Every structure is written in structure tokens, then in C-alpha cells.
Structure 1
């Protein structure tokens, strides 16, 4: 497919370039707020799994205090709220902490749309994604799983949704994921800090696009 092999990468680079230029005032404001709110660097680096299970350092605006344990998912921390800064809470709810990943896209490590890159030591999710070929494409700033549950999804369901994205990659599907993400951010869908990954009920529907209906809580590490 021409889009999957060539056009997707070109669009990623073009949109990332124009995005970082257009959002530069937002970057500046967030940098000032982070520095005024707490001690530590502005950016946070973390080892993540990329295309072909290669490792890279994902970039985020720092939302947690500098004494937070490294490489530990938020939902595995005791009292995670105590580690999150005041500005960090706002950035997490609005997903503004993810903006520096535009740099990862410009470096060719990520795509705008794709499975969210998991931690290097999140072996269970990596293994599940292998079943669906989701480790064979570039991870994304957002993806199909993010607009169908985000932090509330258990690992097996999240991997299955990532697999659905792999099967349906196209310009139209990427556009759907992009605008679906905007709606999810505005509504704060699926954002639950410090959850354990337990769900009250998970029910898969037979919809043609593989949407999953569920009830429950989990704080993911997206």
C-alpha cells in the first residue's frame, strides 16, 4: 500500500514540522510553568519500545517530581498522586505532556498515529502485540486504542485494538484516529491515575471496527 509505505511517513514529517512551529508559544508557556512549579528538568526521557522492538528514548514534559522511581508505571506506584506536580496534573488531563514527542516523530522514531510505545520492561504487552504485528510498525503519538479506552484498557484488549489498527492502516483511518483523539482529550475519556488495571466488566462487540465496550479502571503508561 502506497500510503502505508511512503505517504504516511511524509505526512508525519510535514505535520510534525508545522506542528512544532505553530505550537512553539505553547511550548514556551509550558516550559516556564514547569520550571516555576517544581525543581528538575523540563523534559522527561524514558526507554520505550519502537518499530521492530528497537529501543528509543521517548520525550515528555516532566509531570512528576524528580524523586519518582524510574521505569515504573504510574499505576504501580504507591499513592501516585503524591508524585505528580500541580502543573503535571493539568498536562496529563489535557495530554499536553505528550507534545515533545513531535521531536521523536521528526527523528523518525515515532508516527503521529500508531500503537502507543510501551516501556522496555512491559514484557506482557510486548508479547501480546507480537500476536497482532503491532510491534512491526512505528509507535504513535496517539492510536486506535487511545480513543477506545486509553488508560482503562487491560493489556489483552489494548493489544487487540492495536492489531486492528495494523490491519486497517489508511489515510481515512488515521484521520478518524486523529479527530477521535481530540474528542477524547476534550472529554477527558479514559484518564484514571493510579488504577490497578482491574476492570468490572469487559465486553467485546462485533462491530466492524473492533470497538470494545467496558467498565472499570486502570492507569496506563501511555
Structure 2
């Protein structure tokens, strides 16, 4: 059995301790998500993901209703783009709030990432590595994410280069976003460190090699 994070591995192992469970993270196609060449500055926030996914609906509703109004109060020109296909009515209604745009399906997700100052991943439900987080890091966009949004990724802590800012509560999001809006050097640091992490550990080439190794070992054991 293959899972994408050690957290998933632990949960599955609780049901079948004797099972062989391999951790192989998801990957990113770096040709589709190239690193941006410049920091656009400004106060533009983006969230990317399918807008009919329950976890995404919860995330954008929480962020739009509880976090973004405080950001908008501090930065009058702040914007929030909710980018993704199939927005349900609850998501479409968020576009009625000042500064928020619901795009629906777009030709190129990476264009919106490159134009954003920050990408938020305020997930409160769901498990596993989030492709949206990997894609934002690959594109060189500073990420502010929850524990769920950053699950499975080494982004902070002792002996770990800072690759994203972590937030789980309203005030933590406000603080992290304010830091990034005010500090271009910090944005550059997260942009570079995030991209390097993806290049080193989260490409589809690397994932395919891990799958090949897991399958080979399974055949040998069989």
C-alpha cells in the first residue's frame, strides 16, 4: 500500500500493523509550474483548488469570512483570488465580498500564482500532501498554510530551512500575511527555499523512481 505522508502511514498501520506501507509523496511537473522570475509585490492573495471539493469549500469560506476582512481593513487594496473549477453556490457568494474574485476554471493556474504576493492554504480538513501547496512552492510563491495544508512537508523547525509560514487560527493568519506583505526579503527567502524543496524531493520523476523501487521489492518478496 502506498500513501503520501508519514501521518497517513501511521493511521493505516493502526488498522494493519503487519502490512507493508510505503510513503511516496506526490510530485509536480516543473514545466507546468515554472518558478516566477520576479516578486510582484502588492497585497494580492490567491487560493487554488477545485471549488466543489468539500475541504476546499470549507477552507475558502473560513478564510474569506474570518481572515480576509481583517487583512482588507489593514490593506485597503488587498485582493483575494479564489481560483479553481466548478465553484459551488457557497463559493460564488464569496465574490460579493469586497476584494474577492471567484474565477471558475482558468486556462493557466500558474499565471494566477505568479501574479500573487502570497498563496494561502487554510485547510481545516483532509489528509495527505496537498498538490496545491506543492504547486505554489514550485511556482516560487510564498505560502501561508495550516498544519493540514502543510502536512507531510518539512517547512520549518530546527535544522530545517524556512519554506512556508504556518497558521491555524485567525490571528496567526493575519500575523503571517502581514509579515510577508511587509518584508520582501522574507518573501524571497520562502520563494527560493520552497522551489528548491520541490526540485529536490517532489518531482514526478522522483516519485516514479520510488514507485519502481516499491514494486520491485514487492516482487522480490513475493
**TM-score bracket, shorter-length normalisation:** under 0.3
TM-score by length of 1: 0.27
Instruction: Answer with 1 or 2: which has the greater Rg.
Output: 2
TM-score by length of 2: 0.27
